[in-house]
């Protein structure tokens, strides 16, 4: 845990065209000892000021495909941004923010993957998951945000979101909200600290669980992802086995594939 000076600055300009010149470049860079998510560094050179936002971003609201935190934390540098033909007043938020200590969910993917392999966490496709639910009393644990769960989910699935909307208003949380807002995301998320407690109450340690999220991720090595690909459901599976759950499975392909295959779904639940 350490103290971080957080400065978030948006400087407006008057003019037209695309901001392709160095003085109006926006980029993402990795700083020393970055958190598992990302650290964002933006600067306007013409102002000779640099501003850093250390953002503890959660999977469901990432700038990439954020449907899933594919938590592979895949980011691409933004080479330039288009500035509108209008003047924008300068906004500056400056505060001393303390980054919380790293949680188990923020552990490196290779550590998570190793434990999942040691605990023999199995991946099953959507049709096998449906069969296990019907014939072997498996519980589908949907770890997506509550709003996504209400839109559509497998019948009988239980929702415990692994990431939730940011609730607190500490200096650190304000800085993270500012970072999300800068990219047009006004519903930033954070790790749900009550995840395990809620699963204990709603499901129980003796249950046979299939953990599901939007895209699923994978434990299998592929050409593009030789170490597999992290996801919200795999992070959740890691937390479960870390906390004593022994019958944990993972939904390969995620609920996107479940709905695409036309398997049973409950829609529009209030």
Question: Residue 42: pLDDT above 50?
Answer: no
Rg (CA), the chain: 21
Instruction: State the pLDDT confidence band at 21, using cuts at 50, 70 and 90.
Output: very low
**Percent of the chain with pLDDT strictly greater than 90:** 47
59 in active site: no
Contacts (Cβ under 8 Å, ≥6 apart) of 49: 9, 43
Higher pLDDT, 39 or 115: 115
Question: Tens of pLDDT along 146-190?
Answer: 989 999 999 999 999 998 776 555 665 566 656 655 555 445 667
Question: Tens of pLDDT along 231-244?
Answer: 999 999 999 999 99
What pLDDT score does 119 carry? 95
Query: Smallest Cα–Cα separation from 39: which of 79, 94, 96, 77?
Result: 77
Question: Residue 50: pLDDT above 80?
Answer: no
Domains and CATH numbers, the chain: 2-99 (no CATH), 107-163+191-262 (3.40.250.10)
Length of the chain in terms of residues written: 270
**Percent of the chain with pLDDT strictly greater than 70:** 53
Query: Smallest Cα–Cα separation from 63: which of 33, 28, 31, 104?
Result: 28
Contact 156, 140 (CB under 8 A): yes
Question: Tens of pLDDT along 52-102?
Answer: 333 333 333 333 333 443 344 433 443 333 444 344 444 444 444 555 677
Predicted TM-score (pTM) of this structure: 0.60
C-alpha to C-alpha distance for 81 and 42, rounded to whole angstroms? 11
Return the beta strands (E) in 32-188 as ranges.
38-44, 49-55, 81-82, 91-99, 122-124, 139-142, 152-153, 158-159, 163-165
CA distances from 215 to 77, 142, 191 (A): 23, 12, 18
Residue in 41, 66, 95, 213 annotated catalytic: 213
């Amino acid at each position: 845990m350490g103290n971080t000076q957080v400065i978030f600055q948006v400087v407006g300009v008057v003019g037209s065209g695309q901001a392709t010149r160095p003085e109006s470049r926006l980029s993402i860079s990795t700083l020393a000892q970055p958190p598992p998510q990302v650290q964002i560094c933006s600067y306007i050179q013409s102002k000779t000021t640099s501003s850093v936002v250390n953002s503890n971003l959660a999977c469901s609201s990432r700038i990439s495909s954020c449907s899933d935190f594919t938590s592979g934390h895949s980011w691409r540098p933004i080479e330039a941004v288009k500035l509108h033909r209008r003047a924008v007043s300068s906004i500056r938020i400056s505060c001393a923010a303390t980054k919380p200590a790293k949680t188990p969910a923020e552990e490196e993917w290779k550590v998570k993957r190793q434990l999942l392999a040691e605990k023999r966490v199995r991946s099953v496709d959507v049709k096998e998951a449906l069969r296990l639910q019907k014939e072997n009393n498996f519980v589908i644990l949907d770890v997506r945000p509550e709003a996504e769960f209400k839109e559509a989910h497998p019948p009988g699935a239980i929702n415990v979101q692994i990431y939730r909307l940011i609730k607190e208003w500490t200096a650190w949380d304000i800085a993270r909200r500012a970072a999300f807002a800068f990219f047009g995301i006004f519903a930033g998320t954070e790790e749900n600290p009550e995840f395990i407690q809620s699963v204990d109450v709603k499901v129980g340690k003796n249950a046979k669980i299939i953990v599901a999220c939007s895209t699923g991720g994978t434990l299998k090595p592929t050409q593009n992802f030789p170490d597999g690909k992290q996801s919200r459901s795999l992070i959740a599976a890691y937390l479960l086995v870390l906390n004593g759950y022994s019958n944990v499975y993972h939904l390969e392909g995620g609920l996107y594939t479940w709905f695409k295959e036309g398997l049973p779904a409950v829609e529009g639940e209030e």
